[in-house]
Amino acid sequence: MTTFGQKLRRLMDERRISQRKLAALVPCNDGYLSRVARDLRTPTREIAERLDELLDADGDLTELVPEKRTSTADDILELAAWLEETNVGDGAVDYLETATRRLAHDYPRQPPLAVLQEAQTLQSRVAEILRSGRQRLAQTRDLLSISAELFALINLLAGDVGRYRLADAYGYGAWTCAQEADSDTARALVLCAQSKTARWEGRYADAAELAGRGFQLAPAGGRGRVLLAVSEAAALQARGDIAAANEAMRRAEDARDTCSAADERADAWSCTRARQATYALQVGLGARDPADMLRSVAQADDAWADGDQWVYGTWAQVRIGAALAHVMTGDPDGAAEELKEVFDLGADYRVVTIIGRMGEIERRLGHSRYKGDPCAAELREKIRAFRAGSLEHKALTAVEAP
């Protein structure tokens, strides 16, 4: 006996119509029609009648639809089968989560534009799975959490290369996914990314508020909690509220006491001791306290000596912070020594956070106290050349819009 799926496939071949086009005409989900064509799903009589009409089949398809079963047991089995339907395996979801964590790990180590492109490609795969069919509820939530983290990671990367409109767009997408996943962990990571973008856009009040909300949402010992506290501190010091910034830094220390071992592995959302020292550096800069800044530099160097993971961004910020402290105390030679290796940083790694701090040194070297100082003049020229290679001025190879 010819089955519904067999008859449907024969009619599609005869009419030379693709499954995707037919699904659009019904209209129905392409994945649903695929299951019907493979006899994995029984269509409703309404769908069968519509297919008869579109394929000019004179009711042949409708005749092949069995009468609706009325047995309660059959109804329960049909519901259970529907609930178990999925267009993705658990192994694939695990792979996507692992790939996302790897990109978060690559974030502080690999060229930002390369990681950005990989993250966008992976996010497109997740979006395609979410849109192309249905998953079990737990799988959908997992995929939405993965999508939220990917969007948030792209938000960070877009901000790092000065594409703030793009960062804001991805931040919106990240928040939407986190809300749909109903995950406080995902919400906290999104707020962490949004806070950083707001800070580099000069929206310091927003940055502090976003980081503070994220800190409250992040579970104790959860990912990003220490980073959220220090991010709030950085935004508060930029507003001139040093007392509140110091209080946020104290919260970061308390959060570190409950953080997991994963938070000590340098990635997009962790805050190692060396990275925490860079934020303390910023608070010291806001307080105009070069001695305190140099103490933070020593803390970072000690952390690396004790085995803290070294990453280029944190290292560069520490060296730049040390140089700023020397400039503030009238020692351009000391600043030049600190920056000697920073100037060797490849153009593919010159994110706006690094370029911005170098610009601060250049500005301070333009003070009248350094007028006629050959070392200060030479250092300013080197900084100008370094800043000209900023990723902010480099064309993206990844797409410009989500």
Q: What is the pLDDT of residue 31?
A: 82
Residues 213 and 217: their CA atoms lie apart, in Å, by 6
For the record, the structure tokens of 234 come out as 């950085």
User: pTM for the full model?
Assistant: 0.79
Residues 1, 63: Cα–Cα separation, whole Å: 12
CB-based contacts of 389, cutoff 8 Å, min separation 6: 347, 350
**Secondary structure E strands in 67-193:** none
Q: Given 3-state DSSP classes, what are the helix, strand and coil percentages for the chain, each rounded to the nearest 5? A: 75, 0, 25
Specify the 3-state DSSP secondary structure of 244. helix
Q: What are 356-388's pLDDT values in tens digits?
A: 999 999 999 999 999 999 999 999 999 999 999
pLDDT above 90: percentage of residues in the chain: 79
Whether residue 72 has pLDDT greater than 80 = no
Q: Which of 283, 364, 357 has its CA nearest to residue 315?
A: 357
Please enumerate in sequence order all residues whose Cβ is within 8 A of that of 191, keeping only pairs 6 or more positions apart, or say none.
Answer: 210, 211, 213, 214, 217, 228
Give, to the nearest 10 degrees, the angle between helix 184-200 and helix 164-181: 170
Closest by Cα among 179, 156, 177 to 168 = 156
pLDDT, tens only, 32-60: 899 899 988 888 888 999 999 999 999 99
